[in-house]
């Protein structure tokens, strides 16, 4: 499905498993450059490798517990 979002950028939080990962996968398949986030760097590295192998959108990650951030 072409959603017309190729080349856009997105941040997907809690994206090392479950619905977050599925959202990141869908976006990458549409050609979106995605930044994934989780508290576990090991999981993020695996997901980055998996999504990057699709060779659609660019994938990067950052490790953070969003509940502990203060702004």
pLDDT at 71: 63
The string over 6-34, giving b where at least 16 C-beta atoms fall within 10 Å of a residue's C-beta and e elsewhere, is eeeebebebbbeeebbebbbebbebbbbb
Q: 15 near 23, Cβ under 8 Å?
A: yes
Tell me the C-alpha distance between 59 and 71, whole Å.
Answer: 26
For 9-64, give the CATH class: alpha beta
Q: Where are the domains of the chain?
A: 9-64
pTM of the complete model: 0.85
Average pLDDT over residues 10-24: 94
Average pLDDT over residues 21-49: 94
Convert the pLDDT of each residue in 41-71 to its tens digit: 999 999 999 999 988 889 999 998 878 766 6
């Amino acid at each position: 499905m072409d959603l017309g979002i190729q080349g856009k950028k997105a941040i997907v939080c809690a994206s090392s498993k479950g619905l977050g990962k599925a959202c990141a996968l869908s976006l990458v398949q549409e050609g979106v450059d995605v930044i994934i986030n989780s508290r576990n760097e090991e999981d993020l590295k695996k997901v980055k490798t998996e999504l990057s192998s699709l060779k659609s959108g660019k994938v990067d990650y950052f490790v953070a517990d969003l509940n502990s951030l203060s702004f």
